[in-house]
Every structure is written in structure tokens, then in C-alpha cells.
Amino acid sequence: MPRKKHIKIAEVKKISNVFGYKDDNVFQNICGYFGHKSGFTLELGCGQGDYTINLAQIHSSKNFIGVDRKPSRIYNGAKHANEIKITNVGFLVGYAELLAEIFAPESVDEIWITFPDPYPRRSSMKKRLTHPRFLEIYKKILKNGGVVNLKTDDDTLYNYTLKVIEELGLKLIKGSNDLYNSSKLSDEEKILTKYERQHLAEGKLIKLVRFCF
């Protein structure tokens, strides 16, 4: 492993806005960090937390948490948020699979899933972050009416997610297979992530799905 990455993994837990899924009382720690204000917006597979940080700048009275299993990626976002003095942002090093063990029922306002690994093979379908097993987890922690947003460049994941929504009888709020050539965009929808910039530079179309339970 490169030395820089090794250092980031060792250092990430020392950053004040970072929490680890293996920590004791992680949910209480998160609530304490945000001053016990209720309601969180999560970015799953946040990488270096572009959505988390930008959403927090748009909505300064709400709390935002980026979740990623890779501590070296979270390191960059967590440091950056502290450097630019954004206090309504936290990061959780952990797996989306464990969210219902960490967050209290109905404690989450909204979920963003930004450019997740598409897992195109049928054999790894269960790893897609919009597979029904993940949706069950999201449903537990989301408040009534809480919204899930998926942004992706991947056609298979986009169509798969629409199919899951239909099969489970969920409420589709928006489905666009070419976001930047569709209706007027909200400030939230315009946020770009590291991966999104790469996909746009390659001329790929960006897709958005928004739904609730």
C-alpha cells in the first residue's frame, strides 16, 4: 500500500468530525457532535464527500454525514470540511450494510447515493446500493416520507433501480436518464463529485432517480 494512503488510514480517526462504525456508542457520539439536533442527511459511498460538504453549505441549519467504507477517501473530505470550517458535516467510516445498526429508526431525513460502484454482473447484484436488501435498511432509518436520491452514469444501475422501485411499489418522484438536459435543476442536483466530473469529461450522460417509500 502506498505510504500516503497508509498514513491517511492511521490518521483519519483522529479528525474531530470522523466516526468509526466499530466505535462504542457511535450514534450517541454523532448526536453529541451535532449538538443533539435531530435529523441527518446521509451521502452513501461518499468518497471524499463532495456532496456532503456542498449540501452542508447549501443548508447550514441541517446536519450531513458522508459514509464510506474506505477511510483513506474520507480523510480528504473530513480534513477539507474542517479547513473550510463547516461544522454541520460529519463522516462515518463504515458500510452501508450496517446503517440500521448505527442509526436510530427514523433518524434520517434524506439519503444521497452518489456514483456508487455499479456492480454490472448479475452475480454481484446484491452489492448494488439500490438492491432491495439495502432499501430495507434505508426504510428503517428514514423518517416517514424520507427521500432516497441516486446519481449515476451507469445505464444498467439506473434501469435496475427503476425496476426495483416499480416491483416494490415505491413512489418514484423523479427519474431522468439525462439530468443536464432535462428540467430546471435544483442547487442540490447541480453538485458535482469527483467521479461525476470524470464521467462528464468522458461525455457520459448523468442519471438521477429520486424516490421514497
Ligand X SMILES: C[S@@+](CC[C@H](N)C(=O)[O-])C[C@H]1O[C@@H](n2cnc3c(N)ncnc32)[C@H](O)[C@@H]1O
Catalytic site residues?
A: 117
How far apart (Å, rounded) are the C-alpha atoms in residues 82 and 110? 23
Q: What residue type is assigned to position 138 of the chain? A: Y
User: Does 193 interact with ligand X (rule: CB under 6 A)?
Assistant: yes
Choices 80-88, 111-119, 137-145, 152-160 (CB under 6 A): range interacting with ligand X? 111-119
Site string for ligand X, 38-57 (x = CB under 6 A): -------xxx--x-------
How far apart (Å, rounded) are the C-alpha atoms in residues 111 and 168? 18
User: Does 95 interact with ligand X (rule: CB under 6 A)?
Assistant: yes
Q: Which residues pair with 67 in a beta bridge?
A: 44, 92
Grid cell for residue 205: 450522460
Closest residue by Cα to residue 169 from 212, 130, 112: 212
- Please report how close the Cβ of residue 10 comes to ligand X at its closest, in angstroms: 18
Choices 56-64, 78-86, 114-122, 141-149 (CB under 6 A): range interacting with ligand X? 114-122
User: Does 109 interact with ligand X (rule: CB under 6 A)?
Assistant: no
User: Does 115 interact with ligand X (rule: CB under 6 A)?
Assistant: yes
Q: 58-87: which residues touch ligand X (CB under 6 A)?
A: 67-70, 73
Binding residue for ligand X (CB under 6 A) from 52, 54, 88, 114? 114
User: Does 92 interact with ligand X (rule: CB under 6 A)?
Assistant: no
If the CB atoms of residues 73 and 210 are measured against ligand X, the closer one turns out to be 73
- Please report how close the Cβ of residue 74 comes to ligand X at its closest, in angstroms: 9
Q: Which one-letter DSSP state was computed for residue 83?
A: H
Which pairs from 193-197 meet CB under 8 Å and 24+ separation?
193/47, 193/50, 193/51, 193/114, 193/115, 193/151, 194/47, 194/48, 194/50, 195/47, 195/114, 195/115, 195/153, 196/114, 196/115, 196/151, 196/153
Q: Contact residues for ligand X (CB under 6 A)?
A: 45-47, 50, 67-70, 73, 95-97, 114-117, 193-196
